[in-house]
Chains A and B, each alone.
Chain A
Amino acid sequence: MDISELKKQSDLSYNIAIAKRNALEKTQARLVLVYNGHVFRADPQTINLVKTLGDIGISPIYILDTNSNPVEISDGKQFLQALIARNQEAISSYHQMSKTFANRND
């Protein structure tokens, strides 16, 4: 590989890395969910907690929002659905985008 080809590949990899970082940030922004007047993240930790509490029959559930304020959620099932819907919307969009990164690197 000559030096110009190396530079080209290096630039391309750098561009893809930045695009990936930005796509991840976009995903993080989309994971923010307002529910019951409070701000949450539709991340695996929140989803798992809400699902676990629901599975063992706790209702209403009490959890912390992103500012560590306690929140009472009367309908845990509905909250879980909202969290999962937002999580999958954000991650599937990121997944679509990551395919374009792979194509650019071919």
Chain B
Amino acid sequence: MTKGILLFCFDTADTQYHKILERCVALIKKNLKLEITVVTNFQTFRKINPLGFVNYKFIEPELGNKKAGKEWNNVDRHMAYELSPYDTTLVMDIDYFPFTDNLKQLLDTDYDFLVSKHAHDLSGRNSFDQRRWSMIDMVWATVFVFRKGKKAKRIFDTLKYVKNNYRYFVDMYRIFDKSFRNDYAFAIALQQANGFVEYDTVPLKISTLPPDCRVVQFTETGIAWQYQDQISYIENHDVHVLSKEVADV
């Protein structure tokens, strides 16, 4: 049984995602100690500093999606099943920084697919209560684990179907945000593939810094951020950072 981590990274005109990737890979190597495969394109790959042993898979990202008016190349997650060289794969956003080994144990479960449904707002404002913005519980596709097999394949096939008909599903589930979002696409695919009943989840909340929190310090063990006139920090805890300025800290 092979295990590893799959990351997607594509630079855009606005954000040098490869710099965020470099930070993420360093933490994976330090704390999770798992093999890594990065899905990227050649333009991004040329800018990545040497990261030690890392596998690369080259694809051309599907363009067209936007977030806050900026290019957002996040549509290719549905190909994780085909792109992963591992039997059990942990897929992570590159802006999720693993300051612990908490996620590693999830690759040792018997589940076919695990994802978290909840996020924790580190700024203390509960700003990720997404239930108000749709008729379906959102999942956080920031981090998920799948084990190759019939069930996971069915989920990814459904995900592709949802992606291809996203406008229809957005209307059906009355999702407020009309741009393509993996979190909703996965939530819909999981619900549809599981016969509209509950599915297995990880009892972890994704600790997240909202985009209006500015990261002011980034060390090997933790992160400090500023929100309004407050500066806070957390150490030895995994953090998902939504502000893309983290690339330049």
Query: Which of B102, B105, B203 has the most A CB atoms < 10 Å from its CB?
Result: B203
Report yes or no: A28 in contact with B205, Cβ–Cβ below 8 A: yes
* Given known A21-B124, A25-B207, contact A34–B232 (CB-CB < 8 A): no
Report yes or no: B203 in contact with A66, Cβ–Cβ below 8 A: yes
User: Which residues of chain B come closer than 8 Å to A73, judged between CB atoms?
Assistant: none
Query: Which of A19, A25, A28, A29 has the most B CB atoms < 10 Å from its CB?
Result: A29
> In the assembly, what is the distance between CA of A32 and CA of B232, in Å?
25
B123 close to A (CB within 8 Å):
yes
User: Which residues of chain A come closer than 8 Å to B232, judged between CB atoms?
Assistant: 15, 18-19, 22
Q: How many residues of B contact A (CB 8 A)?
A: 27
B201 close to A (CB within 8 Å):
yes
User: Which residues of chain B come closer than 8 Å to A32, judged between CB atoms?
Assistant: 102, 105, 202-204
Which residues of A does B touch, CB under 8 Å?
11, 14-15, 17-19, 21-23, 25-26, 28-30, 32-34, 37-39, 41, 66-67, 69, 93
Given contacts A22-B232, A26-B234, A32-B203, 16 further A-B contacts (CB under 8 A): A18-B122, A19-B234, A22-B122, A23-B234, A25-B120, A26-B207, A26-B237, A28-B205, A29-B102, A29-B205, A30-B102, A32-B202, A37-B108, A66-B203, A67-B201, A69-B200
Which residues of B does A touch, CB under 8 Å?
100, 102, 105-106, 108-111, 114, 120, 122-124, 200-205, 207, 229-230, 232, 234, 236-238
| A-B pairs with beta carbons under 8 Å apart, 7 shown | A25-B237, A26-B234, A26-B236, A29-B102, A34-B105, A37-B109, A39-B114
